[in-house]
Structure 1
Amino acid sequence: MTDNAFTLQPLNDTACAVLDAQGRHVGNLKRIGAVWKFKAVGYTARGELVPGGGPLTERHNTVFADPLDAAEISATLHPG
């Protein structure tokens, strides 16, 4: 796995968790109609979920085509 690789962990038919290369949860992909939207998440020091936060907050609401392509997602979401 490369530094910029993200992995997808299916949650159900319309949602996947997005994990960074270290296995940290950085967001979710949610299918809305014929597209998938990235929903960034972060966590406070106490472990509380912060919707729209985290290291990929600037990528919040990025749209992806259906079916999902992990390489495209990694290339698009990678910060920098």
Structure 2
Amino acid sequence: MRYTARTLKTALPLYRGPVSPKQKSRKSLSDHNPDEKEFYARRITELEQELQELNILDHSLRIIEICNQIRKLRSEISRFEN
């Protein structure tokens, strides 16, 4: 069986690393530019699309990099909501 990034799509929303209290309190809501949230959301969509096109056996390091970037962008977006 050949695995592709599509098999990882269901795991992506569950992939979140630990967030320290220092990271949460780094910026307050008033410090954010409203366009940043839209930019982060667009970038996440682009990365997820790239992730779906990659083959897990041939591009495993790139897949890890993309997952880490998505995690960082989601943590930035979560600052808007907190």
Shared fold per TM-score greater than 0.5: no
Structure with the higher strand share, 1 or 2: 1
TM-score grouping bracket, smaller chain normalisation: under 0.3
Of the two, which has the highest radius of gyration?
2
| TM-score normalised by length of structure 1 | 0.27
Structure with the higher helix share, 1 or 2: 2
| TM-score normalised by length of structure 2 | 0.26
